[in-house]
C-alpha cells in the first residue's frame, strides 16, 4: 500500500478473531441467519434476477427500484467478508453465482447498471442528481473489492475495473467529459478502495475529481445539476428537495461549515473526504472533516449515535433539533457515522473519534437488527408510543445489507498499528494478530465488555520487542486502574485520549485495564428544546431505555424520576435470560396513577402519583419482545 | 318561524348592543378595519372579479382557487351583519356591488359557481368529494340570507333560491337525480337557514336528504364517491385521503361514534345535524350529537378549544393525541366548534355546551385575529419555538372572513329565550332586548368580564311579568354569590348548569352575580402523552401562556414551575398598556442557566437552575408583539 498521511493503519478484519459472548455470537448469527435472510429477500424482490436483464418495470419507476443493484452489491460485500473469516461452501456458491450474474450483465463498453441497461437506456448519465446511478457503481465496486480479497478470484473485480474505467472516460474536467458527480455519494470512497485493491492511481484521481468538483458553481458557471436538468428538459427550480444541501452539493466541500441534508449521503461523502485527506495529505480536507465533525457531534447527534432527525429529507435540520419520538436516525446513517469516524481515527489518532464510533456501534447501529438477525429497524427513534416495529424487510432495503457487511467485518474497528505502536480502540474478547514493528504480535483480549469494565490483555510474540501500547480511555470513563504484569502502572492518557505504555514487550506479558462502569445519568444541552427536564441512563458504552414489556400496562410517558435519585438509585444487574443476556438497571420512579383520574380531559387538580419499580434495558435491544412503548429520555422532577 | 324541538331560541344578534371594553371595540375594529382588509385582499386575489367570468386559470387548478367563491360569500355575510347593526354607506355600496356581481354570474338554469361555469364546465357535479362545489353553494346561500335580512333587498336571496332549486333538481333519491352529497359539508346548514328565511320546506328536506344519504354504502351498493370516481375514469382507491373518514362519509352519521377526519368538515356537518335535530325532533340525530360531543370534548379538544391536531388531514387523529407545538387547530375549526355548540345549547339547554363555546370564543377563536384586526392565524398551536407568525392573508383564506362573520354577529351567542325563560349564556357589558313572555324586556348587563367576575344585571320593561332568569354557572367557576335587589339569593344551579331565578320581574330589578375568578392550574388527563408533567394556567374563561417578549432572551422550554407554587404563586394584575389591556399573571419559576453549561451536547451533570420572574398573558393575545416563543403548557417539577 502506498504511503499515506494517516497516523494509524487499521487492522484487517480477518486478523481479529472474536472469542467473546457479545460479538462472536452476533457475527455468527449474521453469517448463518441474516445473510441467508437477505439473500432470500433479494431473490424474492427480483433484485438478483435483475442482472439477467429480462424483467419488466414501468417508467417512471420508484427510485427504490432504480437503485436496486446496490442491495445485491452490499450483500456480496457482506458475504465475502463472512467467507474471508470462515469457509462456507454454500455461501461461496451463492456468492459465485451472483458474481457471474453481475458480470453477465455488463455491457461491451463496461457499463453496468440493470435499470439503465434494460429499462431506460436513454437516461444513462442524464440525472446524476436523483437516480443513484453512480451510487450503485460504488457499491458494486465495494462488493467486487471484497469479493476478490475473500476468494482470490479477480473476475468480478476486473469487471468493475472496466466499469470504473468507463466512468473515468465519461466524467472529469477534460474536454468531452461530463463535469458531473454522484447525487448520492458512495462511489468516491469505493474508488479509493479500488485504488488500494489495484494500485491504479486513476481511481484515486477520479475520486478526488468527484470530491473537488462537487458543489462548484458561480454566477458565471451554472451548477452541474442545473445543467443536466435543463438538458433533460426539466426545470432545475422544480427540484423536489428545494436545495442542493440535500445532497451536500450546495457549495464546495471545503466551504461547508454545517452538516446538512441527507444523513447517509453526508456520511459517505465525508468518509471519502477523510480517505482522500489520508491519501493526499490535503490539510484543507482534514480541516473540513474536523469542522463538520464538531458541528455534528456537538449540535446534531442523538445520544445513541443516531443522526438525521427528519424523515422529510432523511437527514439534518438545525443545530440542537433532536426530537426523540420522531427521530428518523436511519440505521445506514449511523453506519456512515461509524465509517467516517473510523477513517478520522486512523487519520488523526484521536480517541474522540473512537468515542463516537463506539457510541454508534453499541446503540444506534446495533438497534438496527433484532437479536435473532431477521428483523430490522430502518429508523431508530429514542421514544416510541408502541407504534414502531421491526420489519423483515423494507421497500427501500438499504439498511439490512449495510448492517450485515459491517457486522461481518467488525474487527476492523477494534485495533490499529502505527510505526512502533499498537492501538486498542474498542474492547471485546478477541485474539488478534498485529504488526506494530518487525514481527507479528498476537494480542489476546479477555473481557466481559460491555457488561463489565475489566479487560485483560496478554501478548504472544516470538521475540521481545519495544513498542507502545495505546489503550483508549473511553470518553465516558471517569475512573480506571492499570496494571502491567501485576504491578500498578499509574498512567494518564495523552492529549489524544490514549494511555501509552511504552516498553519492551515479550511473550506472556499481561495488562489488566479496569474501566469503572457506574450507572450514569446524562442530560442534554439547554439548547436542545425537546429534552429539557429529562435525563437518560447510560452505563459503559451503552445507552439505556425503558420498555413497555417491563412495566406492565403503564404508559411510559406517565413515569417520572426524581433527579435526586440519579444516577445512584439505579443498580446494574445481569439478567442472563433477558434479551440474550443483558445488564439491566433497576431503580425506582413515580408514575401517574391514571386510575384515580376519571374521565375529564383537563382538571384543576394534579394527578396522583405512586411509586413504581423501573427496569432499564440496553437501547440496542429494544423492540425484541412484544410490541410496546420505549423511552430513552425520562422526565425528571 | 316554525315550531321546533329546540328548548331555547337564540337572541338575534341585532338585538344585542355591546357596551363593554372587551368586545365592543373588537366588533368596531372588525367592521372598520378587518372587513375592508379582507375586501381588498379578495379584490387583489381576483376572488371578486371572478364573478365577471373573464379570468384565466390553468387546469388542473389548486383546490384553493376552485373554491374561491366561498370567500366573497363569507365576506358578504360578514359585511351584511355589520350593516345590520350599524349603517355604513360605503360598506353598503361594496356589498351591493358584490351582490350584483354574484347575481350576474348566475346561469339560466340557476347554476352559480365561477370555476365550473368558466373554467371546467365539463366537470360540473362530477367530483363532489374533492371540488367543494356544494360547499361554495352553501356559503353563497348563507351570504344571501344575511344580505336579505340586513338590507331588506331580496335580490341575492332570490338568486340563491334559484341555485338551491337547481341543486334540489339535481340531487336526491328520486329517479334521474344524483344520489350525491357535499364532500365538504356546509350546504346542509345553509339550506336550513334558507328554509328559515323562505319558509320553503323543500330546502329543509334537501338538507335532510344530504345528511341521511351521507356515508350510505353496503356490499350491494357502492359508495357515491366511488361511483362518481369511476364515472370520471378515476380509481376510487387512489383517493389521496385514503378513507372517507376524512370527510365524515365513511358511514352514516347515526353510526359514527368518534369525531374523525377534517375538523371543519366535521363541525359544519354536526352543526347541520343539530339543526336538523331541532327542526325535526329526530332523537337519533340528537343522540348522535351527544355521542360525538362526548368524544370530542373528553378526548380530542385542546385546552383552548382548538380541535384537529394534524396538519396532514387538517383534522383529527386518535383519542388523547394533543401535541402542543404541532397543533394544527385551525381557526375555522374552532369557529365550527362554536357553531355546533351554539346549536346544541339551543337544542338541549345544557351549560356544558356554553362552556365549550366560551372556551373556544375566548381562546382558540380569538387568537385567530390580531389586536389590530389585520393579521391572522390559520393554525393555533399551544406552543411555538418562535417560528409561527400572523399573516395578512393565506393562500387558502378561509379563516379571515370566517372570523369576521362571527365577530360581526357575536351577540347571537350570548342570550336565549324559552317560553317563560330568559337565558344568559355569556357575560359582557351589553344592552339586549329579549322577549321571554308577552313583552320585550331590556336586559342591561354591566361587567368587566373576562377580567373580573362581578356581573350586574338590570331590567327594563313596561309591566311586571313573571319569568325565570337562567344564569349560566361556568364550568370553570367554583364559587359565586348572587344577590337580587340587594338581598342574598342562595341558589344552586339546576342539573343543566344554570341558576334559576323565577319571580315577577319589574323595571329596575337588579341582579348582582359574582363569579370568583382565582388563578387556576390545569392538568391534562394521563392519557394525553404529550402533556404529562406539565400544567397550564387559566383564569376565568381565559387560557394563559408565556411569551418570549416578556422573558428576555430565555428559551421558554428551559422554564419549569414548582408544582407546589401552583396556582397560588401566580397573581393577577391588570396591565392597561399591555396588549390592549389585559390581566397578566405574575409568578416565579426556575430556568435552566444555559450560560453555565458549556459546549457539550450531553453531559452527566444536570444543568444549573436559577429563579426567574414569570409573566403569563392571555393566550388569545399571543403573537401581537415581536416574533418569539410561546408556551401554554409549562413543565412542572
pLDDT digits (tens, 9 = 90+) for A577-630: 999 999 999 999 999 999 999 999 999 999 999 999 999 999 999 999 999 999
Q: Find the domain containing A630 and state its range.
A: 519-636
Q: Do B524 and A605 touch (CB under 8 A)?
A: no
Mutate to test the interface with B, among A302, A533, A538, A634 (most CBs of B within 10 A): A533
- The answer on pLDDT for B32 being more than 90 is yes
B88-116 mean pLDDT: 98
Distance between CA atoms of A266 and A277, rounded to whole angstroms? 16
Does B631 contact A at CB distance below 8 Å? no
Distance between CA atoms of A221 and B565, rounded to whole angstroms? 63
Q: Do B563 and A635 touch (CB under 8 A)?
A: no
Under a CB-based contact definition with an 8 Å cutoff, are residues A542 and B622 in contact? no
Does B635 contact A at CB distance below 8 Å? yes
A482 shares its domain with A546? no
Give tens-digit pLDDT for A416-452.
Answer: 999 999 999 999 999 999 999 999 999 999 999 999 9
Give tens-digit pLDDT for B482-512.
Answer: 999 999 997 899 999 999 999 999 999 999 9
Q: Which residues of B are less than 8 Å from A592 in CB distance?
A: 526, 532
Quote the minimal CA–CA distance from A178 to chain B in Å. 37
A474 shares its domain with A619? no
Q: Do B527 and A594 touch (CB under 8 A)?
A: yes
B635: nearest CA partner in chain A: A533
Nearest residue, CB atoms, B600 vs list A525, A567, A607: A525
- The answer on pLDDT for A384 being more than 90 is yes
Specify the DSSP class assigned to residue B606. Answer: P
- Answer yes or no: is A319 within a domain: no
- Answer yes or no: is B9 within a domain: no
Give the pLDDT band of residue B61 (cuts 50, 70, 90).
confident
* CB < 8 Å from B in window 494-553 of A: 520-530, 532-533, 535-536
Respond yes or no on whether ipTM tops 0.90: yes
- Answer yes or no: is B188 within a domain: yes
Q: Do B594 and A526 touch (CB under 8 A)?
A: yes
Distance between CA atoms of B460 and B158, rounded to whole angstroms? 39
Distance between CA atoms of B283 and B61, rounded to whole angstroms? 42
Does B597 contact A at CB distance below 8 Å? yes
Give the pLDDT band of residue B128 (cuts 50, 70, 90).
very high
Under a CB-based contact definition with an 8 Å cutoff, are residues A6 and A346 in contact? yes
Q: Do A535 and B606 touch (CB under 8 A)?
A: yes
B607 shares its domain with B619? yes
Quick one: residue A281, left, alpha or beta (phi over 0 = left, psi -120 to 50 = alpha)?
A: left
Domain final residue, candidates A173, A191, A215: A215
CATH code: domain of residue A445: 2.60.420
Annotated active-site residue in B245, B314, B330, B348: B314
B296 shares its domain with B374? yes
Does B606 contact A at CB distance below 8 Å? yes
Domain final residue, candidates A166, A192, A215: A215
Residue A597 has φ and ψ, to the nearest 5°, of -80, -45
Does B595 contact A at CB distance below 8 Å? no
- The answer on pLDDT for B105 being more than 50 is yes
Under a CB-based contact definition with an 8 Å cutoff, are residues B18 and B410 in contact? yes
Under a CB-based contact definition with an 8 Å cutoff, are residues B468 and B500 in contact? yes
Give tens-digit pLDDT for B424-480.
Answer: 999 999 999 999 999 999 999 999 999 999 999 999 999 999 999 999 999 999 999
- Answer yes or no: is B27 within a domain: no
B618 shares its domain with B578? yes
Q: Do B523 and A557 touch (CB under 8 A)?
A: no
Please tell me the predicted confidence (pLDDT) of residue B589.
Answer: 97
B401 shares its domain with B429? no
Does A596 contact B at CB distance below 8 Å? no
DSSP string of B518-559?
A: -EEEEEE-TT-GGGTTEEEEEETTEEEEEEGGGSTT--GGGE
- Answer yes or no: is A375 within a domain: no
More confident residue, A560 or A491: A560
- The answer on pLDDT for B211 being more than 60 is yes
A161 shares its domain with A201? yes
Q: Do B524 and A602 touch (CB under 8 A)?
A: yes
Q: Do A532 and B600 touch (CB under 8 A)?
A: no
Mutate to test the interface with B, among A294, A530, A539, A602 (most CBs of B within 10 A): A602
Q: Do B533 and A635 touch (CB under 8 A)?
A: yes
B572-581 mean pLDDT: 97
Q: Which residues of A are less than 8 Å from B526 in CB distance?
A: 555, 558, 592-594, 597, 607
Work out how many CB contacts closer than 8 A connect A with B.
114
Give the pLDDT band of residue A4 (cuts 50, 70, 90).
confident
How many domains does chain A divide into? 3
Q: Which residues of B are less than 8 Å from A636 in CB distance?
A: 606, 637
Under a CB-based contact definition with an 8 Å cutoff, are residues B338 and B351 in contact? no
Please tell me the predicted confidence (pLDDT) of residue A1.
Answer: 39
Quote the minimal CA–CA distance from B303 to chain A in Å. 7
Task: Give chain B's length.
Answer: 637
CATH code: domain of residue B278: 1.50.10.20
A482-499 mean pLDDT: 94
Distances (CA, A) of B546 to B507, B561, B563: 46, 12, 17
Q: Which residues of A are less than 8 Å from B522 in CB distance?
A: 602-604
Nearest residue, CB atoms, B605 vs list A301, A523, A536: A523
In this structure, of A553-557, B544-548, B614-618, B627-631, the range with the lowest mean pLDDT score is A553-557
A62-66 mean pLDDT: 92
Joined together, the cell numbers standing for residue A489 give 502502572
DSSP string of B101-124?
A: HHHHH--TTS---HIIIII-GGGT
Alpha helices in B112-240 (DSSP H): 114, 133-151, 155-170, 187-198, 201-213, 224-232
* CB < 8 Å from A in window 441-500 of B: none
Q: Do B607 and A523 touch (CB under 8 A)?
A: yes
Q: Do B600 and A301 touch (CB under 8 A)?
A: no
> Which positions of A are annotated as active-site residues?
314, 398
Q: Do B601 and A525 touch (CB under 8 A)?
A: yes
Counting other chains too, the contacts that A546-549 makes at CB distance below 8 Å and 24 or more residues apart are: A546/A614, A546/A615, A546/A616, A546/A617, A546/A629, A546/A630, A546/A631, A546/A634, A547/A617, A547/A622, A547/A625, A547/A628, A547/A629, A547/A630, A548/A386, A548/A628, A548/A629, A548/A630, A549/A625, A549/A626, A549/A628
Give the whole-number percent of chain B exceeding pLDDT 90: 97
For residue B281, what is the enclosing H or E element? none
B149 shares its domain with B204? yes
Q: Which residues of B are less than 8 Å from A604 in CB distance?
A: 520-523, 567
Please tell me the predicted confidence (pLDDT) of residue B4.
Answer: 74
Under a CB-based contact definition with an 8 Å cutoff, are residues B424 and B37 in contact? no
- The answer on pLDDT for A295 being more than 80 is yes
B167-188 mean pLDDT: 98
Please tell me the predicted confidence (pLDDT) of residue B1.
Answer: 38
Quote the minimal CA–CA distance from B339 to chain A in Å. 21
Give tens-digit pLDDT for A390-410.
Answer: 999 999 999 999 999 999 999
Q: Do A600 and B535 touch (CB under 8 A)?
A: no
Please tell me the predicted confidence (pLDDT) of residue A2.
Answer: 45
Q: For the full predicted model, state whether its pTM sits above 0.90.
A: yes
Burial letters for A516-530: b for 16+ Cβ neighbours within 10 Å, e otherwise? ebbbbbbbbbbbbbb
* CB < 8 Å from A in window 367-426 of B: 385
For residue B280, what is the enclosing H or E element? helix B263-280
Please tell me the predicted confidence (pLDDT) of residue A504.
Answer: 97
* CB < 8 Å from A in window 573-592 of B: 592
CATH code: domain of residue B436: 2.60.40
Q: Do A303 and B602 touch (CB under 8 A)?
A: yes
Look at residues B3, B40, B17 and name the one whose alpha carbon lies nearest to residue B401. B40
A185 shares its domain with A61? yes
A477-500 mean pLDDT: 94
Please tell me the predicted confidence (pLDDT) of residue A537.
Answer: 98
Give the pLDDT band of residue A46 (cuts 50, 70, 90).
very high
B295: nearest CA partner in chain A: A601
A527 shares its domain with A508? no
Look at residues A443, A551, A382 and name the one whose alpha carbon lies nearest to residue A16. A443
Does A343 contact B at CB distance below 8 Å? no
Domain final residue, candidates A182, A215, A248: A215
- Answer yes or no: is B30 within a domain: no
Q: Do B529 and A385 touch (CB under 8 A)?
A: yes
- Answer yes or no: is B606 within a domain: yes
B245 flagged as catalytic: no
Mutate to test the interface with A, among B306, B602, B635 (most CBs of A within 10 A): B602
Nearest residue, CB atoms, A597 vs list B301, B526, B566: B526
B307 shares its domain with B172? no
A528 shares its domain with A449? no
Q: Do B526 and A301 touch (CB under 8 A)?
A: no
Q: Do B529 and A560 touch (CB under 8 A)?
A: no
Under a CB-based contact definition with an 8 Å cutoff, are residues A307 and A334 in contact? yes
Q: Which residues of A are less than 8 Å from B318 in CB distance?
A: none
Does B285 contact A at CB distance below 8 Å? no
Please tell me the predicted confidence (pLDDT) of residue A3.
Answer: 55
Give tens-digit pLDDT for B377-401.
Answer: 999 999 999 999 999 999 999 999 9
- Answer yes or no: is A235 within a domain: no
Quote the minimal CA–CA distance from A549 to chain B in Å. 18
Distance between CA atoms of A305 and A383, rounded to whole angstroms? 15
Amino acid at each position: 500500500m502506498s504511503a499515506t498521511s494517516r497516523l494509524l493503519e487499521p487492522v484487517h478484519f480477518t486478523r481479529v478473531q472474536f472469542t467473546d459472548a457479545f460479538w462472536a455470537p452476533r457475527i455468527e448469527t449474521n453469517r448463518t441467519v441474516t445473510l441467508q435472510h437477505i439473500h432470500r429477500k433479494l431473490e424474492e424482490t427480483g433484485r438478483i434476477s435483475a442482472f439477467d436483464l429480462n424483467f419488466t418495470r414501468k417508467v417512471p419507476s420508484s427510485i427504490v427500484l432504480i437503485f436496486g443493484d446496490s442491495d445485491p452489491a452490499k450483500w456480496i460485500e457482506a458475504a465475502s467478508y463472512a467467507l474471508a473469516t470462515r469457509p462456507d461452501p454454500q455461501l461461496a456458491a451463492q456468492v459465485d453465482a451472483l458474481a457471474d450474474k453481475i458480470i453477465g450483465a455488463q455491457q461491451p463498453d463496461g457499463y453496468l447498471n440493470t435499470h439503465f441497461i434494460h429499462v431506460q437506456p436513454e437516461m444513462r448519465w442524464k440525472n446524476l442528481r436523483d437516480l443513484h446511478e453512480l451510487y450503485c457503481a460504488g457499491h458494486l465496486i465495494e462488493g467486487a473489492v471484497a469479493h476478490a480479497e475473500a476468494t482470490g478470484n479477480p473476475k468480478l473485480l476486473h469487471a468493475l475495473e472496466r466499469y470504473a474505467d468507463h466512468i473515468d472516460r465519461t466524467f472529469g474536467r477534460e474536454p468531452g467529459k461530463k463535469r458531473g458527480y454522484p447525487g448520492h455519494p458512495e462511489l468516491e470512497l469505493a474508488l479509493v478502495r479500488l485504488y488500494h485493491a489495484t494500485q491504479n492511481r486513476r481511481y484515486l484521481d477520479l475520486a478526488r475529481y468527484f470530491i473537488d468538483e462537487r458543489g462548484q458553481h458561480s454566477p458565471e458557471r451554472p451548477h452541474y445539476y442545473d445543467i443536466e436538468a435543463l438538458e433533460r428538459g426539466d426545470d432545475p427550480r422544480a427540484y423536489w428537495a428545494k436545495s442542493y444541501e440535500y445532497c451536500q452539493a450546495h457549495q464546495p466541500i471545503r466551504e461547508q461549515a454545517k452538516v446538512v441534508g441527507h444523513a447517509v449521503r453526508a456520511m459517505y461523502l465525508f468518509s471519502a473526504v477523510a480517505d482522500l485527506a489520508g491519501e493526499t495529505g490535503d490539510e484543507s480536507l482534514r480541516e473540513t472533516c474536523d469542522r463538520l465533525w464538531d458541528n455534528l457531534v456537538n449540535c446534531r447527534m442523538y445520544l445513541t449515535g443516531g443522526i438525521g432527525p427528519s424523515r422529510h429529507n432523511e437527514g439534518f435540520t438545525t443545530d440542537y433539533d433532536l426530537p426523540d419520538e420522531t427521530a428518523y436516525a436511519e440505521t445506514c446513517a449511523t453506519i456512515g457515522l461509524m465509517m467516517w469516524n473510523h477513517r478520522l481515527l486512523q487519520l488523526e489518532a484521536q480517541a474522540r473519534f473512537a468515542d463516537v464510533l463506539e457510541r454508534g456501534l453499541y446503540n444506534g447501529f446495533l438497534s438496527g437488527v433484532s437479536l435473532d438477525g431477521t428483523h430490522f429497524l430502518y429508523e431508530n427513534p429514542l421514544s416510541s408510543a408502541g407504534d414502531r416495529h421491526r420489519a423483515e424487510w423494507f421497500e427501500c432495503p438499504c439498511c439490512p445489507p449495510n448492517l450485515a457487511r459491517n457486522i461481518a467485518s467488525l474487527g476492523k474497528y477494534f485495533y490499529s498499528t502505527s510505526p512502533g505502536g499498537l492501538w486498542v480502540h474498542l474492547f471485546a474478547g478477541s485474539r488478534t494478530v498485529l504488526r506494530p514493528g518487525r514481527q507479528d504480535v498476537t494480542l489476546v483480549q479477555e473481557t466481559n465488555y460491555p457488561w463489565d469494565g475489566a479487560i485483560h490483555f496478554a501478548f504472544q510474540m516470538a521475540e521481545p520487542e519495544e513498542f507502545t501500547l495505546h489503550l483508549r480511555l473511553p470518553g465516558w470513563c471517569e475512573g480506571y486502574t492499570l496494571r502491567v504484569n501485576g504491578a500498578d502502572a499509574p498512567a494518564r492518557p495523552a492529549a489524544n485520549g490514549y494511555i501509552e505504555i511504552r516498553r519492551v514487550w515479550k511473550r506472556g506479558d499481561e495488562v489488566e485495564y479496569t474501566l469503572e462502569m457506574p450507572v450514569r445519568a446524562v442530560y442534554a444541552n439547554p439548547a436542545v428544546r425537546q429534552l429539557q427536564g429529562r435525563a437518560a441512563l447510560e452505563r459503559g458504552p451503552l445507552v439505556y431505555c425503558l420498555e413497555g414489556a417491563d412495566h406492565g400496562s403503564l404508559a411510559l410517558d406517565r413515569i417520572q424520576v426524581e433527579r435526586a435519585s440519579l444516577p445512584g438509585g439505579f443498580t446494574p444487574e445481569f439478567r442472563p435470560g433477558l434479551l440474550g443476556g443483558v445488564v439491566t438497571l433497576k431503580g425506582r420512579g413515580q408514575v401517574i396513577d391514571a386510575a384515580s383520574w376519571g374521565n375529564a380531559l383537563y382538571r384543576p387538580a394534579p394527578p396522583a402519583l405512586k411509586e413504581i419499580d423501573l427496569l432499564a434495558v440496553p437501547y440496542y435491544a429494544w423492540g425484541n419482545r412484544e410490541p410496546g412503548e420505549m423511552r430513552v429520555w425520562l422526565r425528571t422532577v
